[in-house]
Chains A and B, each alone.
Chain A
């Protein structure tokens, strides 16, 4: 039976103009789904977040997947990721004055 685990990678964290989740090690998993829900209305010129991967949890490179950060508190956004090695995080540049406050959940399965 496959192992599945849900990790909370951000909970009620206000991001102002930029933000990134803490590094998460998920090398045991073959696939990941990241869900994003705004806990407070978000605004900004660039309400997107980039999935990033890393060789060491210190230096980061874009994986290529982009997630739309919901402006309202009802929409749930989602991104699928596979073949990521070990380290994952989500990083955002929200633009001048941009802000959001997210619940980000990482769903891993081997």
Chain B
């Protein structure tokens, strides 16, 4: 038996790991049984005063560990025991919140992000509320190693646009444009709000109807898998449940390399509300793996 076959067999014999399909090495496998596993709040840049923080980041708050407790049915719970990571927006139309995991890569090869997630609005109305969450999504924040010949910072974004202005849309989108502005005197720190509402583009063929159970307190977990090559800085594949999407029309945000972010490998997940009601993104578990 070769090593790959043995590793696959061992992983599939583990019920918790078996539902993932990691590459050869696992950076992290997060189930939120005993903690936050390094997922924290995305805080905005500032200099001298917190007033200089971009309002898009100033609205962000810390993630939570949740058993998805609801007023009518009690705790829903994650797929196994323990908790799910919860990212909650404020109750203001267009509000967003982001959680991220910061690391660096040790080899510029293929990486994979897998997760089981779900989303719901706050159950404060006795309504289906299927168009109350505007979007949920994820992004990588990457930068080449310091000896790369043409170093750049690259940020692939994918969001599921669930609804916009009350219309239930349900499609995947990506973003390739962002704009920078200086912080403080502009010589050391800059900011860019890459999750702003502008410049999202439809992923060709990206329409998908996800399972949205019949009241706001019923949830069903959804699987996603995104592959990216750190050598070519190109997206390789994207899957959500039973759908494999064509990424030939996908592009990432590409910006010049920054002077202090070498080998950065950040993974972010986010939620956005379309109404004056809190939107909740829950992540049951996640696995980040790579070929190295």
Contacts and interface: CB of A to CB of B under 8 A. Distances in A.
B53 interface: yes
A22 B35 CA distance: 21
Given A27-B69, A86-B69, A3 B35 contact: yes
Interface stretch (B57-65, B127-135, B156-164, B201-209): B57-65
Interface residues of B, number: 26
B90 A22 contact: yes
Interface in A9-60: 9, 11-12, 22-28, 39, 55-58
Contacts of B83: 28
Contacts, number: 55
A25 B64 contact: yes
Contacts of B67: 27, 86
Interface string B114-147: 0000000011100000000000000000000000
Nearest to B67: A27
A7 interface: yes
Given A3-B34, A56-B69, A57-B122, A8 B62 contact: yes
B87 to A, nearest CB: 12
Interface string B33-56: 011100001010000001101000
Given A3-B35, A8-B61, A58-B71, A23 B88 contact: yes
B86 interface: yes
Given A22-B61, A24-B64, A5 B35 contact: yes
Interface of B: 34-36, 41, 43, 50-51, 53, 58, 61-62, 64-67, 69-71, 83, 86, 88, 90, 122-124, 278
Given A11-B58, A25-B86, 18 more contacts: A3-B34, A5-B36, A7-B61, A7-B62, A9-B61, A11-B50, A12-B51, A12-B58, A22-B90, A25-B66, A26-B64, A27-B65, A27-B69, A39-B50, A56-B69, A56-B71, A58-B71, A58-B124
